[in-house]
Structure 1
Amino acid sequence: MSPDLNVDAALDAYRLPLLPAPPRVLQAVADGVAPGEVRAAQDEAVGWLAAERPCPARAVRAPDGRVRVTCCTDLPGVTPAMIDWWFGWHLPSSARYRLWHPAAHVKAVVRDDRSARAQGRERYIGNESYVDEYIGRSLRRLTIAFVEPAAFGFDARASDAVTICANTSDRLLGGQGGSLVHHVVGTPGGAQMRSGFWLGEIRHRVPLIDQGLGGLLNTRAMRRLIVPDRMALDLLQHCGEEMNHLARFLPSLYGAVRGPASP
């Protein structure tokens, strides 16, 4: 019996109560959305997430209405390889997905179940995850389309870091409006996850609608309507909660599924 395929029957040990986000994240949420410059994720993700300094917990809105949310999470006992494994392992199962944020994660379905493939990025890059989750009080039905780190300027060959990159879209509205990057680097005793979300570059999945409404959807007023400040702040708090929660159970789960000798 493969523990990778059958561990769902023993997930109770990893169903932990959710703790509040770290104080620095809660303070950033209380501070509100700050004004600033925001470029496309492809143009600035490396600068924000791969620099020597950790990225701040902050939500920033540009004059044109686009938003960038950044959050830095210390992950004691976690390695970058564990994060790479997690993104490949949890995709096919709602029960696994709910471990990550028991209060907000509802459902996850993957386009291609690649459980028989090698661990890690072989399972998620080029794949799509269809998730239902609460961001704040709003239930979002999202498509997360994972892409190569090179699409955002990161070197996938780096041995000391793992970068998870994806484009996100709203399944109800039919529009792609965001990008996410989690850049994970090793630290003494664990890892640090530097997360960034870029929202407001809106494209509709139907080409004719995109051609007809693309200009309207990407005005300042429409971006603020589609991505209000409350959504950006809720996303910041959500990220602070789920990434800290993940660190609490991931090392033991990884060891149970992969075995103590796994890298």
Structure 2
Amino acid sequence: MRELRKELTPQEEQKSYAKYFNQPIVSPNPELMAILQEGPMDPNKVLMLGNVNVLLKDGYSDVETGYCVLPNGTAYVAVNNKFPGVTLEMINWWFAWHGLEDLRYMLWFKKGHYGIDISEKDRAKILDPTTPILEKFQGCTHHVIEDTGNGPEDIQISFLKPEELGFDMEELNSKDITVVTGNGVAQSRKGGPKAPAVMLHYFREIPGGVESRSRFWMGYHMIDKKPCKLLPDGIQIPVQAPRGLAFHNVEEYSNLAAILPDLYNEMGGKIE
């Protein structure tokens, strides 16, 4: 088991972007934090896995930020984060760039990000200048050490392509959208069962920047383009799990929104 790192090595401290790790984390979006502090949302207003094409419509869903446990024991999280001054190009670059070393993952949110690993095959694909930008994360797997609100976990994130989640690709490709999605498996560093989930970050342009309409379906995986409930019948996910993930998502993306424009410009949009 890899160590839980909270400090940088001397070699990491020498890198120009170490300053983003060393500076204070920005305060999370107060509007979103206030919504989450009101308690669980109405389960009847959940966007069910399998209905993701609803996100392609203009406007917003009834609930863009909330969390709950569903009658079948699974859980749901939705968060609508704003990224002023950020472009979709920056988002694509970030998801390709940050998997290459611990420091890049840690500077995203040092309060809860402790390390990241990828295979040598994925590393070669990311660093290959002929690989299209979206394929530098779609189809890759990140092994991260992260605290999503309920203690440190080892998490495997297997990134998928939008079509594997059921998106209408003709309509999706007609819009300026970046979809970051994948199957995740998390296990507490203290041991215990492995927890499956499906992650979706639907990025679209808004005046002055972009927004992420994030969705998590805890207890599920996408298998052969179909949502599959992996949570055993009779088991219920404790509400602390989606609640912690919702607050964590606001915190980590508030910080990323604050640092990404400068970081991207300093790196010149290069992936190396």
TM-score range, shorter chain: 0.7 to 0.9
Matched, 1:29 2:36: yes
Mind listing any 5+ residue stretches in structure 2 that lack a counterpart?
1-11, 223-228
Q: Distance in 2 between matches of 1:228 and 1:50?
A: 32
Q: Deviations over 1:117-160 (max 9, x none)?
A: 24632211111000011122411111000010111233353451
Q: Which amino acid aligns with 2:253?
A: M
Matched, 1:73 2:78: no
Q: Deviations over 1:205-257 (max 9, x none)?
A: xxxxxxxxx98x422x41x2xx3111111100111011111111111111122
Runs of 4+ in 1 over 6 A off after TM superposition: none
Q: Distance in 1 between matches of 2:262 and 2:174?
A: 25
Corresponding position of 2:135: 122
Matched, 1:180 2:196: no
Q: 1:241 to 1:119 in 2, by over 3 A?
A: farther
Mind listing any 5+ residue stretches in structure 1 that lack a counterpart?
1-5, 204-213
- Count the aligned residue pairs: 239
Q: Deviations over 1:73-92 (max 9, x none)?
A: 11001011211111011012
8 Å CA contact retained: 1:87, 1:120 = no
8 Å CA contact retained: 2:145, 2:155 = yes
8 Å CA contact retained: 2:150, 2:240 = no
Q: Which amino acid aligns with 1:194?
A: R
Aligned to 2:116, the other structure's residue is in SS state strand
Q: Which amino acid aligns with 1:201?
A: Y
Matched, 1:59 2:67: yes
Q: TM-score, normalised by structure 1?
A: 0.81
Deviation (angstroms), 1:183: 0.6
Q: Which amino acid aligns with 2:18?
A: D
Corresponding position of 1:17: 24
Corresponding position of 1:139: 152
CA RMSD of the aligned region, Å? 2.7
Q: Deviations over 1:54-80 (max 9, x none)?
A: 652100222111211000011001011
Between the aligned residues of both structures, percent identity stands at 25
Q: TM-score, normalised by structure 2?
A: 0.78
Counterparts in 2 of 1:105-120, with a 5 A limit?
105-111=113-119, 112-113=122-123, 114-117=125-128, 118=131, 120=133
8 Å CA contact retained: 2:64, 2:80 = yes
- Greater CA drift, 56-65 or 191-200: 56-65
